Every structure is written in structure tokens, then in C-alpha cells.
Amino acid sequence: MKSGLKKLIRVFGFTALLIALVISSSYMLAPKDNTKEGGIVNPSANGFFSEPKGTIDISVIGNSDAYSGFSPMELWNGYGYTAYVSGEGSQTVAQAYSMLSKVLKVQTPKVVILETDGFFTKSKVVENAAKIVNASLGSSFSVFQYHDRWKKVKIGELFKKPHYTGHCAPKGQWLSNDVKGYNGKEYMKKTDKSAEIPLGTKHSAEAFVKTCRDKNIGVLFLELPSQSSWNYKKHNAVKKYADELGVTFIDMNIDRERFDFNWKTDTRDGGNHLNSKGARKCTLFLGKYLEEKYNLTDHRKDKKYSRWNEDFKDYSKNAKI
């Protein structure tokens, strides 16, 4: 009969061995570059890795609404602020939180903007729990996300440090010039009713806000115009929740004439996502708010940032506004 203590030590010992193996295989199999060829998932959301350290002042995190409706290049051209959009399709707030931790590894943003559509990403409680586990496993131990790279990885690559070379000129924005307008009814009808933010989501959102505050980073909740995914009930829910947390919430579905928004011309898919034109309007409006509220630096004349001017040229060639 073995003693209880000895057994306990064994359990811990084996668990420690396993964790050590997982960490080392995570290191070996993680993509060594943030390009498509490097094997990274969603290269454009991860492009901030290859921006020089500490050069991004504003980080925008969210789902497809964020990468369609926010344009870092317009912000650069209008205000000289450096922003990067890290958007992932149907991102949950748990995933947003793990994205934030990645951003903070290499960048020191002054403001982080969380797009709030992800608060309501539809999933059952169970799926939600799975996604949280998945996201935290995947972000802490990349072997769970990138295990399949054993097929491609070369032996010499295994022990190399990551070296990020991928350059994303639109800084994470998904640029689309398509126009497919929305001609339907007004979707933001005022009501006192409120939608419900799931408990798991709140948990992740609070961790998100706390991390930013601990590092003295400004946090903003933002909702970009989306006719199909937003309504007044959701607005009420997020407004109330943001007030509780003491976070500013900007809902751009309300009073859209403030920035001259037009559903007939500014969406690429009939009211769900914005096109480059819509993104421009929203971004310039936000720029003004950021200028008033935060002490941000205009880098346009700074030689260190000359690459941004080239990127803007590239962007204007592609964006037909």
C-alpha cells in the first residue's frame, strides 16, 4: 500500500511532465512567421506582430464587423494615429481576450477598442463553455491550435525563435468596394427592453477591461453600424453594462446622420458589413472622438513612421471611395 502523499506527488509529477511536453511542443510547432506560408491562422488579424514594437497606439479587437467597418489607414491619413484591427469571424469575447493578450506581448497601445457585437455571438451555454476552454487552451498552448503543422515543419525550424515578416498594408482591414445597399426599415426602434449578455461573456469582458486598466490603457466599447446584427435591445444591454463597468460605449447605429451615414451606399452585403466607404465615414468620426478624448500623437511627420505613408498610397489605390 503506497502512502497517500506519494500518490499525490506522482499525480503532480506526471501532470508537470505532461505540461512541460505540451509547452515545448507548443514552442516547436507554433508558426514561426505571421504569414500564410508561415502557417498562422488569420494572418491579417495577426499583422501587428510584424509592426515595429510599440508602434501601434490603438488596437481594435472584434469580429467581422470590426475588420470591415474600421479603417486604420483613414485614421492615419486624417489624424496620424497608428491603429491596427484584429478581427476574427464570429469572434467571441473569450477569443477577443486571448487576442488582447497577444497584442500586449509586442505592442503598447494607448487605447483598446472592443467591438461589442461579439457580446451576442450566438451559441448555447455548452458551446460557449467549449469555446472558452478552446480559446484559452489554444492561446496558452498553441499546440492545440497548430498541432497539424508537424506535417510541414522542418527539423531545423523546430527550435527557431519566431520571426515575423508578414506585412499587412491595410492594417487588418478587410477592404471591399462592393456596394449592395440596404433599403429596408429603420432597425433601431427605441425601446426600454433589454437583451441579455451571457454570463460567460461578461466574465471574459471584465477580464478584458481589467487587463487594460492594470496597464493604464484606455478602453472603449464600440458598435459599428450593422443593420442585421444590431438592435435597440442590444444597445440598452451594452449601455447598461458599460455604465456598470465605467467604460464609454459608442454606438454608431444611433444618430447616424452625425457622420453622414447612408445604408444605400455604405454596405457591401445589404446591411450586415460595411464597405470601404462606410468604414471611412465611421473611422473619421471616431478619429475626432479619439482626438478630443485621448492624448494621442500625430506621427505623420515622424520619419520613423514613413512606411505608413507608403501603406496609405497602397491603400488609396485599392480603396475606391
Please state the closest distance from residue 124 (CB atom) to another protein, in A: 9
Please state the closest distance from residue 84 (CB atom) to another protein, in A: 23
- Enumerate the β-bridge partners of residue 157: none
Name which of 24, 95, 21 is nearest 62 in CA terms.
95
In angstroms, the CA 225 to CA 66 distance is: 10
Sheet of strand 248-251: strand arrangement: 83-87, 58-62, 111-115, 218-223, 248-251
Calculate helix-pair angle for 125-140, 199-214, nearest 10 degrees. Answer: 30
Please state the closest distance from residue 147 (CB atom) to another protein, in A: 5
Strands (E), the chain: 58-62, 83-87, 111-115, 218-223, 248-251
Q: Name which of 78 and 200 has its Cβ closer to another protein.
A: 200
Q: What is the DSSP letter of 270?
A: S
Pairs from 147-153 (Cβ < 8 Å, separation ≥ 24): 147/25, 147/29, 149/29, 149/31, 149/39, 150/29, 152/39, 153/28, 153/29
Please state the closest distance from residue 42 (CB atom) to another protein, in A: 10
In angstroms, the CA 152 to CA 194 distance is: 49
- Grid cell, residue 286, equals 471616431
Q: Name which of 149 and 299 has its Cβ closer to another protein.
A: 149
Residue 213: Cβ within 10 Å count? 14
Footprint of another protein (CB under 8 A): 2, 7, 14, 17-18, 21-22, 25, 29, 41, 126, 129-130, 133-134, 137, 143-145, 147-148, 150-151
Q: Name which of 16 and 321 has its Cβ closer to another protein.
A: 16
Please state the closest distance from residue 47 (CB atom) to another protein, in A: 19
Q: Name which of 87 and 287 has its Cβ closer to another protein.
A: 87
Please state the closest distance from residue 152 (CB atom) to another protein, in A: 9
Q: Name which of 2 and 301 has its Cβ closer to another protein.
A: 2
Please state the closest distance from residue 210 (CB atom) to another protein, in A: 24
In angstroms, the CA 23 to CA 165 distance is: 24
Residue with cell 492594470: 214
Secondary structure (3-state) at 114: strand
Contacts of 78 (CB under 8 A, 6+ apart): 283, 284, 287
Please state the closest distance from residue 243 (CB atom) to another protein, in A: 32
Please state the closest distance from residue 7 (CB atom) to another protein, in A: 5
Q: Name which of 144 and 294 has its Cβ closer to another protein.
A: 144
- Grid cell, residue 86, equals 484584429
